[in-house]
Amino acid sequence: MSLFKDANIQVKIVEAFGIGDLPEDKQAQVLARAGELLIKRLFLKVADILSPDDRNNFDQMLGQEPPVSEDQVSSFLTEKVPNIESLLQEEISSFAGEFRV
C-alpha cells in the first residue's frame, strides 16, 4: 500500500487543514493539491536523511521512464527511513500551520 494514499494520512490532512466541513469534491481537490506539495516537502527532507548511495538510488528511481509506482517509492522510503510516517505527520502539521490564520 502506498504511504501517500493511506486513508489515515488523508484523514490527518483533512483534520490538519480543517476542511472536514467542505463537500467531498472540494476536500478531494485540497487533498490532491496539498498531497503533491507535502510529497515534495517530504522528499526534500528525506534527501537530507538518506545516505549518499541511497539518495542516488532514490534520484534514479524518481527519474525512471516509465515512472516507478507510488508503492515502489513508498516501499523504498519505508525501508530506508524507518520514521517516514512520523516525518510525514510532521510535514502535515507544519504545512497546515503555515496556512492557519
Rounded to two decimals, what is the model's pTM? 0.76
Give strand ranges (E) for the chain. Answer: none
Q: Report which of 51, 56, 41, 37 is spatially closest to residue 81, judged by C-alpha positions.
A: 51
Q: What is the pLDDT of residues 15-40, one digit of tens each?
A: 888 889 999 999 999 888 888 888 88
Domain ranges of the chain: 3-99
- Average confidence (pLDDT) per 10 residues, the chain, 101 residues: 70 87 91 86 92 95 89 91 90 83 50
Task: Give me the numbers of helices (H) and strands (E) for the chain, helices first please.
Answer: 5, 0
pLDDT of residue 1: 52
